[in-house]
Each structure stands twice: as structure tokens, then as C-alpha cells.
Amino acid sequence: MTAESAIAEPPAVMTAVAPRRRRARLPLLNLAGAAIVSAAVLYVSFFPVAGLPALGAAFNPTTGAWTMAADAQVTDRMLHLGGLQQPVRVVLEKDGTAHVTARTDHDLFVATGYVHAKFRLFQMDLLRRQGAGRLSEIVGKVALDTDRFELQLGLLRTAQLEWAQLPASDPLRDALLAYAQGVNDRITEAESTHQLDAMFTLLGYHPQPWTPVDSLLVKGDMTQTLNFTDTPLVMALLNKSLGTDLASEWFPILPPNQQAPYDPGPYGKVEPPQGIATMTAMTDAQSASAQAVYERLAALPAGLVSKGGASNNWAVAGAKSASGGALLAGDPHLHLTLPAIWFQLTQESPGFHTSGVSIPGTPGVLIGHNQHIAWSLTDAQNQQTFFYMEKEDSKTHPGMYFWNGAWRKYITVSYQIPVLGGATEHVTVKWSVHGPVISERGQTTSVWWSGNLPSQDLGVLMNAGRASNWQEFREALRGWYSPTHNFVYADDKGNIGLISAGYYPQVAKGQPWMPMPGTGEYDVTGTIPYDDIPQAYNPPDGIIWSANQRQVTSSYPYYIGTASNFFDPGYRANEIHRVLSQPGKLSASDMQALQTDTHDFLASEIVPVLLQSLSKEQLTPQESTVVQLLRNWDFRMEINSSAATIWSYFYGWYVYEVFNPWWKSRAVPVEMQEISDTLDQDLEAWTLHDPSNRAFSAPGVGSRSAADAQRAAFHKMIPQIAKDLGKDPNSWTWGRVHLRVLENLAEVKGLNYGPRPDRGDGRTPLAAGDYPSTHGPSWRMVVDWGSGTFQGIYPGGQSENPASDWYTDRVDTWFAGRLNPMLTAEQAAAAGGIRTWDMRP
């Protein structure tokens, strides 16, 4: 027998014994198999695996994500809240607008906290986590860079300082505590009834109790989004690459184009600004350091660094109003998300009678009206971020920096960042006198940011909402720090006003628009006196407006920032000013129309020049059709307009045609898109007033004029549009290329709204920049004190629950440019389709 045959034919004794052993082993194998499969099923049911939620916890029908179906139903209720002192009534309109009526101010904030948390708890949790650097705890290491940066920038530290410094007698203290109590009442209720927002269930975590510091963090998030900028770093890179002469000419302090400041002066102080130097060249070390910080900030997710603002507001005095009462309109432009940043609310208590929009996570109304005054705000845009390059000597003075003639130790603060599915991250942040160190690549760079000045801005807002006239309103805003805002005002006596309240950092000397030495001579020394900040009250022409433009003329005696990406190019402000300045009376419907105005001011200036430049040009039939479309155009960026598309393509190509050769020849490390606002202004000014500017004769293109560059851009853009949209220019409608998307806050694309064709562009009062546009009018409000009508709308809905009717129910109204009436609590209670919550202690 060979070995092979021995294997193939086992001996008879073996064949008799083996089945019995196998039978004996089978139950054990069966048990092992059952145990392994059961363990696997239980594991994936209880714990998240490979990006999936814990399937059992998340999908079971009684406590899992399916509870969003019940949560979407809002009914009349009687409920008990631990923090209440007296009964409170909440009336919810059929669109979810909440009217809170309380007998004490304390109860008002308890109930507000409850209502916010009922509809927006996940959003609130995300906002506080962003500010506190705790996003990694719930989403894993994908958010680690954001968390590190937020802790480095200091939002948590500042919020903690603000809370610690809040006097025990300050009404804001009680408001924040009461608000936190209300939020926590809702968290307790939601957990006991398994009604937490489904995102908590799917992400597998429970919200921690809300604290006053969390509310201050939410406010810090907004400050960061609106005024933490990298512009000085950009300026440093432009200076180094383009050279000092071109950089100072193209990126000046004062805007190169014609703008419409709302405060024309005269100004209190007559001396020109002291100690502000002209631009000088940077060293290689300085520029390398700026490059390192710039790259660090550029790698952060969108929204953490402000990239220019866009908001409108204006007011019309009673004397110029058709109703005889003052008019006010406001539409702050922000990232358009679902849920929206806003929650519509009316607050009625002994101390408060406010109606408008609030930010979930904070206790008061931010934009709205009371019985006597209305207000809205736009970002004031002044420079509030300064970079300092610290002087160090690691050999003789390790861990120290040189400031005001002495070596000083950095303060260090340590944080831990829990990371889902990973090890806890330890972060140590160094602070100099200027602020946190944000880069140690090359030269150590710290940042002075006004958002890090502890301030009680939420209390200021609450006081402003209690004002009954301009003097009280203006006085309340004296304590407002950051972000600086243009607060527009209109009252029931026909008065109007605008004040750009906030902190205006002043430096002793140096070039504040670029990184500065941190040795002490260039430090921020204080702010502009309150009486000298931009402001106006009852101007003679009866109109007042802001749209992020520079608020003052060239004779304003203080440095407040450069034209480069601090302030808006001014096209929206110019258009608003143009419309409001026309003869005749204005009505609330005129305000509404202006909010959705699609007239592109820049186009109205440039297109006639372009047509003139093309007048003697040999054109193809297709180009002739394009010219004809432009000739017949009313400069409105409407969905069905082909000329709007042509204009948009043209100006992009024109900017590219003029500046790209410079960018290539000088190896500029900043994307043109990053500073397009300033390039737009430059090109506008040169096209209209300096068509032979040296910028048109870039290296490699030879000597040419503005008209030459326009013709070149025109001929190059036609094939590009034809490639994108087809051969027939009549079919190149704006709605084909210009879409709007409302993005889900948790970045779930399937829960976005859109893309949907929309009007406007980045320069029209109906702001809609970018492709697709995700930024724009986040809340439109129109007040007419003459007729006593108050109207508003925001895109989205009151609920963050995507299964709720109140997730997107306001979107169509918003797209159509219509407004909803802002009812009083009494009017709401008498309206149909309401829900009532009776809250008891």
C-alpha cells in the first residue's frame, strides 16, 4: 500500500469510530457558531462599527431614530418645568413661530431655553461643541484639526472668562442660568420619553447638560465666523510676491472705487491717523512665517475663517415714508443651512416685549422689534484680527518671547480632546500678551483677535432690545465689542439711525494690515472713542443704509481696515443708495422689492463700456447675438436672463485676463478668488477712470488698454460658454448656471434643499454669490411703523427634525421673495392652527 492509497482508504476501525466523534463534536461546533454569530449581532446592535451607528439602538422602533416621527408632531400640551416660578404660556403658530408669555423675566428665559431645545437641541449641541473643540468626540478624528484650532484660538477660554467675570447682580447672569435650566428641562424630558433628536441616536451619544458657558460659546462661534480673518497674512504674501509698489497700489487702505458711505462726516477728530505707515517690503523670514500660518488657516473647514461679509440693512425716516412712519429693512447674509441659524420668537414678560429672530443656544432676540423700536444688523467689517510675529531666542531664553524690553514666559493652557474611535488628543496652547500662538513654523506667530476680549455682548443685546428710543438704544450698544455690527434703527416716532458699534482696535504704529513684530511697539492700544465710531441719526435726506461697505469717507481720521476683504466692494450699498435716493415716498413693499433686487450695479457701469469697446470689432454671428443680448439687458440677474450669464462669465474672464499674467509672472501664492472683491474694485476703477493703467500691460502681453483687455476677454469667453451651455446664446439663461442650495447642518447631502435655480449674484442686494450659492439672506425683515406692520421670513423652518413639516416649510415663501406677518402674542393666540403649551412650575 502506498502512502496515497493509505490516505484514500482508511482502516476499517477508523471508519467505524469517526462518525460518533463527529456527532459528539457537532453540538459544540454549533454552540461556538451560535455564540460567535450572536456576539457579532449583539455587537453591531449595541456599538457603532465601521461608520455605521449601533444598529439596534439606532433603528429600534421605540427608542431609536424612528421617534423622529412622533417628535415631528406638535400638539397642545400641559407640562411641568422645574425651573419655573410662575405659569408660562407658549403659543406656536402654524409655522412654528413661538410666542412665549411669562410673568417674570426669569421664567421667560426658562421657557425660551425649553422651546429652543425642543426644536433645535442637536444644532445647539453642534454649535457649543464647535466652540469648545469637542466635535471629534462625536464624529472622530475627521474633526480633530477643527477642534485643535478652536481650542488654540481660545473660544472656550474666553467664554469661561466671560462667565467668571459676570457680576452676580447682572441680569444676564440670571438670564443665562434660567435659559440653561430650560434647556436642561427639555433634555431630561427628551431622554425620559426617548424623544431626543434622531441625530443623537444615530451618532450614539447623549447631550450633556447645558451651561451658561455654552451660550457664550455659541456667541463666540458667530463672532469667529464674522470677524476672524486671515487678511493680514494674504496681504503679506501679496506684498512679497507682487512687490510693495503693486501691492500698495492694488490693495490700498481706502477703496479704489466710488462707494456710498452712510456716515459722510464731519468727524469729531480732525487729525489724520497717527503712526500708520505706508506699506514696506517684508523679509523672507516674515513672509515664510506668514505663508505657514496662511496655509494652516486655509486647510481649515469653511466657516472658521471669515471670508468677507454680506448683509444689508437700511431705514427710511417717517418724512420720506408713504405711511408717515419710519421704515426699516434688514437681511443679514449668512451660510444658509437647514436648520437655519435663526429661530423666530416673540418674548413677552415684564421686562421684555421683543419679537424677531434668536440664535438657538442664546436667550434673547438678536434682530427684531419691540413696542417702540426696530433694529437689524450687518457686519461692520473693520479689522479685528492682527497677527504678531514673536521675537524668540530658543538658546538663551527657551519658552520665552521678547516684549516691551523684557523676556517673558508664554502662558500655557492644556486641553484634552476625546476622539471617537481613537486615543484622546492632548493639546497645549501657548499665549503671549497678544493672544494665542497659532503657528510655530518659521517665526512664532500669535494672533490678537477682538473675539478674545471678554465682553458681555449678550447682555448688551438684551438691553438694546429693551430700549424705547435712540438714546437708550445707542447707550445700550456702548458695551458691544465683537463682532462689530452696523445696527440700523427705526422707531415709532419716525426717527432713524445707524451706529457701527463694537471694538475698533488701534495700534500705536506699524502696518496693521500685515503681520507685525510682537516686541510691543506695534500693539493694540485701545479702541476708537464711542462718540467717534461711524454713526448717523436722522440724516437730512431721510435715508440710511449699510451693506458691509466702508461706513466713512476718506477723511475719517482713524484706521479701521483696508479695502481688501475687510470691507465689501460696495456694489450692494451703491444699489441700495441709488434706489432709496430716488425722489418720492417709499413704502414697505418698496423695501421688500429692494431686498430682492437683482440689479447688478457693477454691470450697469461696465457693460456700456464693454459695448463701446466692441463697437468697431469684427464679430461672428454668435458674438453679434451676444452683443445684442447685452445691449437689451436691464442689468438684472434674473433666472431667464441670458445676458446675466454672459455678464457673469465676462467679468470673470476680464479679471482673469488682466491679473492672471501678473499672477503667473510673479508666482503669487494667493488664489485670485481669495481677493476677488478687491480685484473687482480695482478693475472697475481702472476701466471707468484709468483705462491705460499699467496693470493692463502685464508681463508677456505687451502694451494694451482696458478696451484691449475687454475685447480679449470677450472673445475668449464665448467658446467657454458655448462649451458649457450650447451654441445658442439665447439659451444661456442664468438659472442654468446659478443655483441655490440650503445645506444640512450635519452635512447630510440628502437632507439639503436644492439645488434650485435662483436670481441674483454676489453683487446684487439679493445676495447669491458662488456656484452653487450657499450663502445669502438668512432673515428678511421689513418694519413699517406707520401702518404698524412687521414682516419677516427665513429660509428653512423652525424644526431641525427633517421629518417635521417645519423643516423646510418657509423655503418656497423665501424663494418667492414674500414675507410672513410677524404677529404679536395676542394676534398669534387668536390665529387659526395654533398649538398651545401651558407650562407650570
Partner 1 sequence: MRRYVAILLAALLALAGVLLGLWWAPFVIGVALGALDRRARIVVPAGAAIGLVAWAIPLAAVHIQYGLGPTTQSLAAIMGFDHQRAVPVVVTLLVGTLLGATGAWLGGAAHSVAPRRSG
Bridge partners of residue 408, in order along the sequence:
401
Site stretch for partner 1 (CB under 8 A), options 32-40, 658-666, 728-736, 829-837: 32-40
* Residues of this chain, 170-189, that bind partner 1 according to CB under 8 A: none
Stretch that binds partner 1, among 26-34, 589-597, 640-648, 820-828 (CB under 8 A): 26-34
What are the DSSP calls for 518-578, one per residue?
-SSTT-EEEE--GGGSSEEES-TTSEEEESSS--B-TT--S----TTTTS--SHHHHHHHH
State which residue, 38 or 612, has the beta carbon closest to partner 1.
38
When asked if residue 204 is in the footprint of partner 1 (CB under 8 A), the reply is no
Least distance CB 808 / partner 1 (angstroms): 11
Q: Which is nearer to partner 1, 340 or 367 (CB)?
A: 340
CB of 38 to partner 1, least distance (A): 4
Judged by CB, which is closer to partner 1: 14, or 24?
A: 24
Nearest approach, Cβ of 74 to partner 1 (angstroms)?
11
| Binds partner 1 (CB under 8 A): choice among 92, 166, 175, 202 | 202
Judged by CB under 8 A, the number of residues near partner 1 is 41
Stretch that binds partner 1, among 53-61, 444-452, 686-694, 770-778 (CB under 8 A): 53-61
Is the CA virtual torsion 156, 158, 164, 168 positive or negative? Answer: negative
Residues 464-497: b if buried by 16+ CB within 10 A, e if exposed: bbbbebbeebbebbebbbbbbbbbbbbbbebbbb
526 near partner 1, judged by CB under 8 A: no
**Interface with partner 1 includes 304 (CB under 8 A)?**
no
> What backbone phi and psi angles, to 5 degrees, belong to 142?
-60, -25
Contact with partner 1 (CB under 8 A) among 6, 18, 31, 816: 31
| The length of the chain, given as a count of residues | 841
Of 233, 308, 226, 295, give the one whose Cα is nearest residue 678: 308
Q: Are 769 and 333 in contact (CB under 8 A)?
A: no
Footprint (CB under 8 A) of partner 1, residues 714-753: 748-751
CA 825 to chain centre: 30
Looking only at residues 238 through 297 of this chain, which bind partner 1 when binding is defined by CB under 8 A? none
Of residues 156, 198, 235, 782, which one binds partner 1 by CB under 8 A?
A: 198
Q: Which of 6, 18, 22, 30 binds partner 1 (CB under 8 A)?
A: 30
**Is the CB of residue 562 less than 8 Å from the CB of residue 251?**
yes
Of 13-21, 57-65, 468-476, 665-673, the window that binds partner 1 (rule: CB under 8 A) is 57-65
Label each residue of 279-301 as H, E or C. CCCCCHHHHHHHHHHHHHHHCCC
56 binds partner 1 (CB under 8 A): yes
Least separation in angstroms between CB 56 and partner 1: 6
- The 10 Å Cβ neighbour count of residue 147 is 25
Residues 784-813 that bind partner 1 (CB under 8 A): 801-804
Which H helix or E strand runs over 679?
A: helix 676-689
Nearer to partner 1, 57 or 288 (CB): 57
Nearer to partner 1, 143 or 178 (CB): 143
Residue 65: CB minimum distance to partner 1, A: 6
Distance separating alpha carbons of residues 453 and 463, to the nearest angstrom: 20
2, 13, 21, 62: which one binds partner 1 (CB under 8 A): 62
Pairing mode, strands 343-348 and 98-102: parallel
Per the CB < 8 A criterion, the answer to whether 730 and 642 are in contact is yes
Cα–Cα dist 706/683, whole Å: 9
Q: To the nearest whole angstrom, how small is the minimum distance from the Cβ of residue 744 to partner 1?
A: 8
Shortest gap between Cβ of 24 and partner 1 (angstroms)? Answer: 10
C-alpha to C-alpha distance for 552 and 21, rounded to whole angstroms: 96
> Measured between alpha carbons, how far apart are the two ends of the chain, in Å?
95
57 is a contact residue toward partner 1 (CB under 8 A): yes
Residues 751-770 within binding reach of partner 1 (CB under 8 A)? 751
Distance of CA 131 to the CA centre of its chain: 14
CA distances (Å), 2 to each of 7, 10, 756, in order?
9, 12, 80
Under the criterion CB under 8 A, does residue 69 sit at the interface with partner 1?
A: yes
Residue 115 has which C-alpha cell?
Answer: 422651546
Segment interacting with partner 1 (CB under 8 A) among 34-42, 114-122, 126-134, 338-346? 34-42
166: amino acid identity, one letter: L
**Contact in structure between 366 and 359 (CB atoms under 8 Å):** yes
Comparison of 45 and 104: residue with beta carbon closer to partner 1: 45
Single out the segment in contact with partner 1 by CB under 8 A; choices: 111-119, 198-206, 575-583, 758-766.
198-206
Under 8 Å between Cβ of 781 and 356: yes
All three cell numbers of 174: 440670571
Select the residue interacting with partner 1 from 47, 49, 63, 536 (CB under 8 A): 63
The answer to the question of residue 60 lying near partner 1 (CB under 8 A) is: yes
Give the span between the Cα atoms of 662 and 745, in whole angstroms. Answer: 39
Stretch that binds partner 1, among 127-135, 196-204, 217-225, 635-643 (CB under 8 A): 196-204
Which residue among 18, 42, 277, 281 contacts partner 1 (CB under 8 A)?
42
**Rounded Cα gap, residues 587 and 641, in angstroms:** 28
Grid cell 460696495 is found at 570
Is 45 a residue that touches partner 1 (CB under 8 A)? yes
For 667, which DSSP code? T
Nearer to partner 1, 73 or 612 (CB): 73
Chain residues that interact with partner 1, rule: CB under 8 A: 27-28, 30-31, 33-35, 37-38, 41-42, 45-46, 55-57, 59-66, 68-70, 72-73, 194, 198-199, 202, 748-751, 801-804
